[in-house]
Each structure stands twice: as structure tokens, then as C-alpha cells.
Chain A
Amino acid sequence: MTQQIIIYPLFLQIAISIILMFSWNNVRFQKIFSVIGSFLALILSFVVFYFIWTQGTQTVQAGTWPAPFGITFVADTFSATLVVLTALSGFAVSIYSAASVLNDRLKFGYFPIYHFLLLGLNGAFLTGDIFNLYVWFEIIIISSFVLITIGGEKAQLEGAVKYFTLNILASVIFLTAIAVLYGITGSLNMADLAGKVAAVENRGLVQITAILFMIGFGIKAGVFPLYFWLPASYHTPPFAVSAIFGGLLTKVGVYALIRVFTLIFTGDEFLNELLIIIAILTLVSGGVGALVQNNMRKVFSYLIICHIGYMIAGLGMFTQIAIAGAIFYLIHDIVVKTNLFMLSGLVYRLKGTNSMRALGGLYAQWPKISLLLFIPLFSLVGIPPLSGFWPKINLIKQGFGGDYYITVAAIIFASFVTLVIIAKLWAEVFWKDSQPLKLKENFGFFSKMTTLKKFQFVFPIALLSLVSLYIGFGAEHIQELSARIADELVNHQGYIDTVLHATK
């Protein structure tokens, strides 16, 4: 019965959404309740994580139909970790939204939809059934469509059309891949598929299916040739929405790639090489793209793409060390990217613009806030001992060990470009002399806010910065965690046995 705890995060998010829907017009209540609910979700996610960490992989069979016939929920360490990270980012962005999103937008159901998005994310991480993964993906994208269009400004609608088209295309390709997979194996349960796909004799057909999955998830993750929707849309919605998108949405694609390519389509040289090539091109093109941008949010959008490359490279090398590096990077990236978009929102509130050319003198005006913003910016680069540094060691070590010299070169190039970009950003935004800016009317500048609102802006950034610092300074804990996840992913027999031979 205690196994049921792994689906409680889903129930909690549904309950929060429904209660918020019944208080549609009471924005004040929505703000308070969303923050409380997210805090409860955070605590619950830690409980789930502790449970999985001590008890091992757990499954829940819906309606006690045994796998592979019923719908299965599985929580292994990987899922549990991502549930914790979702709850953490969700909590931070929930506080941030309460202060930064305009009340006019909140009246159109921002918070209920936001919690539906978190529900979809949790569901995608916890499901053990490939068709249900599709359904959770749809819940995520329909919520994200509403969030990206809420407010209906011109730029938002244009960004939304692009975001929408590519995401629907990704869903259709994903669905096609599921259809073909069902056609060749007759199963939908991921643990069951692992065995059945390995037994298929026509390897060409399996590779085609795998490539369809790769394209479907790749569009969502924003890998090399498929990412152009991302920098066209991620800077258009409110900052809080950008934060949760930047932190978590692309990472769901990465999660799905890692899950599918470590469990179902394993040990195929061609696919691994393809992943490596995609990773190299993603690292290079994302980094170069970020160099030429001037809007802070656009820079961060390109950096999302660039850094997806690290995780795909880790997956492509497909050894325990490399995957541990990818997982470590995933953990670090969710925290930092969420933080970066909240940071750009704070800068926007301080100065009224996000253009790096027009900004300047932030350090002279707000030294304490600047010092706080230093942590997420340079965690991203990974100046030792901040958090981005450690996973790259794993990747580079594996790269040299397995003769992936071009990959190592791309990783180092991307790190270097990131360093250049962040140094440029720091110089332009924080160190450059302050420039005269036109003061906007009717704009809620940070200095005019109440203390509570200021707190709501700064606290989430401080919270996630603290987590980044923990990832950096307590790297051995995260290393232990990601090593264990990588071990479970590479030696997936335990996962399969747990799902298929669960007693309940």
C-alpha cells in the first residue's frame, strides 16, 4: 500500500489545480494557495525521494492489472530526482509568479494552468508506459500553449504560433513512433518493450523507429536541427513562464530521450554515433547563436540549446560514467536555467529593459542584488567550485577514455563560449557605466515595490542560488546520486524485473 505514495505528487497537483479553478476570480487567494500548495508538493517530493532512495524502485499498477497489460507507474531514482527538481523549480516560480505576473493575466487562470503543467511534468517522469508518456506530454504542451499565449500580446502570439506548430509536429511524430513500435512488438509497457525490441530481428525497422523517437523528443528538447522554434518563442511570455519553460520543458525531452535510449533502444552503435553527432552540432550552434544576441532572455534561450548538447553527448557515449555526467548536468541545469530567467525578470524590473546594450551600472546601483545574481550566472559557466564544473569532468574524462576527441573539443568549445558570453553579459549589464534610460510610465519598477513584493522577487532567486551552491560544494552527494541513477539506467534489468514481476 505504501507504494502508492509515488503517485501522490500527481494527486496533489490535480487537487491544487481544481481548488484554484474554483476560485477563478479571487487572485489573492490563488497566489497564497499556489505558494502553499507548491511548498506541500516540495515536501511530498522529498518524502517520495527518500522512500525510493531507501526502498529501491517502486511500481503502481493501475487497477491492479499486472504489467504489461495495465497502466504502470514506476518511480526509480531517476524519476524521483526529477520529481524533486520539478517541485523545487515549481515552488520557486510559484512565489515569483505571484509577484511578477500581472493581475490581468492571473485572472485568466494562470495559476490553475500552471499547476496542470506541473502535473503533466510529474506524470511524464513517473509513467512506465510509452503511450501514457504521450498523453502526459500532451497535458504538458496544452498547458504550455495557454501559458505562452496568456496576455495575448503581438510578440507572444507570434511566438506561440511557432511554438505550437513545432510542438504539435513533435507530438505527431512521437505518436507515429509509438504506432510503429506497437506494430512490431505488440506492447506499450516500457519495461516489456525493452525485452521485445531486443528480440526483433529486423534491426533496420528498429533503428527507424528509434530515429522517429529521436526526432519527436529532439524537437521538444531543442537539439541541433530542430531547435529554431525555441529562441523564437521563449523570450515572449511573462518572465515566470519563461523560467518554468526554460528550466523544465526542454528537460522533459531530454528525460524522455535518456529513458527511451537507455531502456528500449540500447547498444546500437549507429544510434549512439548519431546522438554524438547531434550533440556536437547542438553544442557548437547553440553557443555561436548565443554570441550574437543582445537581449538577455534570447541569450539564455540559446544557452539552453547549447547546454542540451552536454546531456545528449553523455547519452551518446553510453557508458556509466558518461551517463552519470549527463544526469549530473541535468540536475544542475534545471536549477540554473530556471534561475536565469527569473534573474532576467529581476533585471527587467530594476531597469525596465533587457537589452544588454542599454543596460549598465547594475553593480554600482544594487551591489547586494548583483552579488546574488553572480551565483547563477557563474554556476552556469561552471567556474570551479560552482555547480556547472563537476559534470563536465565526468564527460571529458569519458571522452578521453573512449577516444571521443571531437566531442571533448565541442564540450570545451561550448564551455568556453559560455564563459565568454557570461563575461560579456557581466561586463555589459553590471560593470559598464549606467546609461540614461527613458523612464517608462505605469511600469512597476523594483525600487517602487513594497517590501513583500521585493522579497517575492529576490527569495526564489536566492533559494535556487543556494541549491546551485549546494550542488557545487556538496558535489560528492550529487555525484553519488547520479552514479546510482546511471547504474540503474545502464543495468536496467532491475527496472524490468521490478515492473514485470511486481506482486501488486
Chain B
Amino acid sequence: MEVLLALMVGILYAAGIYMMLRRSLVKLIIGIILIGNGANLLIFLLGRITKGSPPIIPENAKVLTEAFADPVPQALILTAIVISFGLQSFAIVLVKRAHTVVRTDDLDEMNATDEDS
């Protein structure tokens, strides 16, 4: 399972960076989404995967003695997902708006800011 997830993380990062390096704005967004998911999966993976043992303490005990799934990474991912969701929606609106104003989908043609004024 770990190996599979590790491969998955690698693929998501690689695909995300590849897409971000394209010149199209839409592919840029897809790249951002992929790489964001890759990061979330990485947190999950590095929190060590423990199958089927939730961190719930029995009634008559004070601490967990057996191995348990660490809840912290899942809390982190939850936060990160919400944040990246917000950023992605902003990205889509921004790119839509940039496309209507600049009338191009090509990042190489967006060079008005580099011109000498």
C-alpha cells in the first residue's frame, strides 16, 4: 500500500509540474490541482498508514497501548484541502477573467508587464 501511494504521489507531482510548465492557462490550473492533491497525499503517506485501528481509547484505559492511526495528518489534510479548494476556485475565476481581458490563452503572450513604460 505504501509503495503504491508513494508512486501515486510521485506521478501526481510529476504530472502537476509538467502541466504547469505548459504555456496554456487551463493546463496551468490543472497542474495546480494535481500538485495540490499530490501534497495532500504525501502528508497522508508520511503520517504512517495504519489499517483499521482508530485512535479511540477504551473506557477503562488512559492511553492507547496498541498501534493506532495518527489523526494529526488527517486534520492537516482536511485543512490543506479546504485551502487549496479556495485557491483553485480563485485560480479558475482569475484565469477566466485574464482570458477575457487579454484575449489569449498563451502565457508567452502575457508580457505587457515586462514592457518598458
Across chains A and B, the number of contacting residue pairs, with CB separation under 8 Å, is 101
* Cβ–Cβ contact B101 & A176, under 8 A: no
Given A183-B47, A235-B113; A160-B72 close (CB under 8 Å) = no
A165 contacts which of B20, B47, B113, B116 (Cβ < 8 Å)?
Answer: B20
* Chain B contacts with A in 36-71, Cβ cutoff 8 A: 36, 38-39, 42-43, 45-48, 70
Q: Within the complex, what minimum Cβ distance (angstroms) separates A205 from chain B?
A: 11
Q: Within the complex, what minimum Cβ distance (angstroms) separates A345 from chain B?
A: 15
* Cβ–Cβ contact B43 & A164, under 8 A: no
The answer, yes or no, to whether A154 is at the interface (CB within 8 Å) is yes
Q: Within the complex, what minimum Cβ distance (angstroms) separates A154 from chain B?
A: 5
- Secondary structure of the B side of the interface? helix
- Please give, as numbers and ranges, the residues of chain A lying within 8 Å of B95 by CB-CB distance: 161
The answer, yes or no, to whether A262 is at the interface (CB within 8 Å) is no
How distant is the Cα of A155 from the Cα of B90 in the complex, in angstroms? 18
How distant is the Cα of A183 from the Cα of B43 in the complex, in angstroms? 8
How distant is the Cα of A172 from the Cα of B38 in the complex, in angstroms? 9
* Cβ–Cβ contact A188 & B20, under 8 A: no
How distant is the Cα of A309 from the Cα of B48 in the complex, in angstroms? 39
The answer, yes or no, to whether A47 is at the interface (CB within 8 Å) is no
- Would you list 22 pairs from A and B whose C-beta atoms are within 8 A, ordered by A residue? A131-B79, A135-B79, A142-B86, A142-B87, A145-B94, A154-B101, A158-B110, A158-B112, A161-B25, A162-B110, A172-B35, A172-B38, A175-B43, A176-B42, A179-B45, A180-B42, A182-B46, A233-B113, A235-B113, A295-B116, A295-B117, A355-B117
Please name the 5 residue pairs, one residue from A and one from B, whose CB atoms are nearest each other, closest first.
Answer: A183-B46, A179-B43, A157-B98, A158-B110, A175-B39
Residues of B within 8 A of A (CB): 20, 25, 28, 32, 35-36, 38-39, 42-43, 45-48, 70, 72-73, 76, 79-80, 83, 86-87, 90-91, 94-95, 97-98, 101-102, 107, 110-114, 116-117
Residues of A within 8 A of B (CB): 131, 134-135, 138, 141-142, 145, 149, 152-155, 157-162, 164-165, 168-169, 171-172, 175-176, 178-180, 182-183, 186, 188, 232-233, 235-236, 294-295, 354-355
